[in-house]
Chains A and B, each alone.
Chain A
């Protein structure tokens, strides 16, 4: 059995050339999905670069974005060097993606089952009948009954559409599924169903899952590991319970502190300070979180902390621990 990681990002930097300058959506990011069944949650606010990470894993970065540094390897093979055919086989068959607006980008003139049939027939040599059978089975495994398999997207609720999209993503049995905020537009009850569905797939099919979100509370029941993203960098990563209940990086602390959950009370939320103008600026030099960090000291303003193992074995990018 190979020792290679399923997916490995090494020091990847993505730059976007915008009208007013260059912006780094990802800055020296390294992470590993070591094996099948490995679940990772990526949490960050909007603008943190979390969507870029998902796109990176699929090699979907397009101009004006460019990968200026780093390597992405899938089972040891360099993804960035793949030609079109190899990429076609990589995407959907090895790695698949479900994103937030996917449910709205279903083709309105095709039934959901034919979406899946199309995916199946494009990537493998099966007959129409076989494809259709498989499509119906897939749809029912995500909770869409056979009677509704031929419905059109506008006839289905948001939750059902997103389930159809998940079925499409899983049609070719990929080893890794990337879900980028798949439940943001959905209600809480439907959200729970989708998360349960994803969890079921992970368990039943030994699927690796990368779940990208800005709501860390969703990750509790879903993933085993978490990477916290801030301004394009991973600032902390580790097992979910460690991150949730024993955060190390000051950003993780503030993230958890600003959480709104059923456990919050009025007194608790009154103590969260608002971000000042200065705090919102991300400094060019030194630690990017320095302007918002209450522990910041001199070293933080000149030297950028690297993600490394601290004394208790957890990965964190903060000078407090070195």
Chain B
């Protein structure tokens, strides 16, 4: 039985998404995406499931492939190979009417709250479009009522914002409108691509708290794409960590953040700013931590992609690519020298 299926059997909820061997290849290099044989693997052989009603975070730096995966899940990008099955149907094969139906069940909130709203449409129009096109609601009164209801749901006062244009709203308000727009067709799944990254620190918590409440009130399945572990910690039950297109670790959030298996997860954890008292902080800032960067991984042809930056690497790391295996209960990592391994799972 494959590792992914092993976990499935431990679950009570069914899998809404089954992602298998997803590969997204770009012919030309873009920025800092990793190159392998003169092509760029934005997403490299990624497999995972998403369970009903769960909150899954996909964490990674830029170039990790997390946004590409989100776009593939949403049907906005096409994978080069592999499959994404949602409720039995292959997402990449959807088009026309079927694609619209899919978007009635799966919706997305984008990263840039301003750029994802049409500057020429006011809030009312922006929200009525999905109601009219996806939900196919023809009755004007019903549309109008639903728009107001959606605005209340995202904690905005319709009386104030209904006829405003995006440039008249604050960042937090715009993002709430985006969320309302995504909720309009009453979807089952919400994919949030870095929803708070472009907001002011003071607005972030409110948006996250809104998403959590919405998850409960609507029984949503939420897939959160983020580079920030703190959001992942608050928002999700399970977290997946991406590095250079590869899924390097996936497991229950609490376990992953307290006892990570993959050295990269450990690295991100240590780099996440914390509020600790002076006396308790370590002041070691070795040059090695200053030097190593994602560039080192760009030229890796064989073996583990993270090896050049890894302080635990051994000979085998340069030779063979580690497989994603369970290192503790429901918690997988792709590492030959995984940390915090549960004795029962060491290979």
Contact = CB atoms under 8 A, between A and B. Distances in A.
Interface of A: 45-46, 142-143, 145, 156-160, 187-193, 196-197, 199-200, 214-218, 220-221, 240-241, 244-245, 254-255, 258-266, 269-270, 272, 274-275, 277, 280
A194 B214 CA distance: 37
Chain B binding surface SS class: helix
Contacts of B257: 262
Contacts of B287: 143
Interface stretch (B17-25, B78-86, B268-276): B268-276
A198 to B, nearest CB: 10
A160 B278 CA distance: 28
Given A196-B285, A196-B290, 16 more contacts: A143-B287, A158-B32, A191-B273, A192-B271, A193-B289, A200-B285, A240-B278, A241-B278, A245-B275, A260-B231, A261-B275, A262-B257, A262-B274, A264-B233, A269-B205, A269-B234
Contact of B293 (A193, A217, A218, A260): A193
Given A193-B290, A196-B290, A266-B212, A188 B274 contact: no
Interface in B191-236: 200-202, 204-206, 208-209, 212-213, 227-231, 233-234
A267 to B, nearest CB: 10
Interface of B: 31-32, 61-62, 155, 157, 160, 170, 172, 200-202, 204-206, 208-209, 212-213, 227-231, 233-234, 257, 267-278, 281, 283, 285, 287, 289-291, 293-295
A19 B109 CA distance: 34
Nearest to B294: A157
Contact of B275 (A187, A188, A217): A217
A200 B233 CA distance: 31
A266 B233 CA distance: 9
A255 B200 CA distance: 11
A262 B213 CA distance: 20
A145 B267 CA distance: 22
Nearest to A196: B285
A272 B287 CA distance: 40
Contact of A260 (B157, B172, B201, B283): B201
Contacts of A156: 295
A277 B294 CA distance: 43
B230 A262 contact: yes
Contacts of B202: 45, 254-255, 258, 275
B61 A143 contact: no
A261 B270 CA distance: 12
A193 B172 CA distance: 30
Given A262-B230, A263-B275, A269-B205, A143 B281 contact: no
Contacts of A269: 205, 208-209, 212, 234
B200 A45 contact: yes
Contact of B200 (A214, A259, A262): A214
B31 to A, nearest CB: 8
A260 B230 contact: yes
B295 A160 contact: yes
A210 to B, nearest CB: 19
A294 B230 CA distance: 27
Contact of A244 (B200, B275, B291): B275
Contacts of A160: 293, 295
Nearest to B160: A277
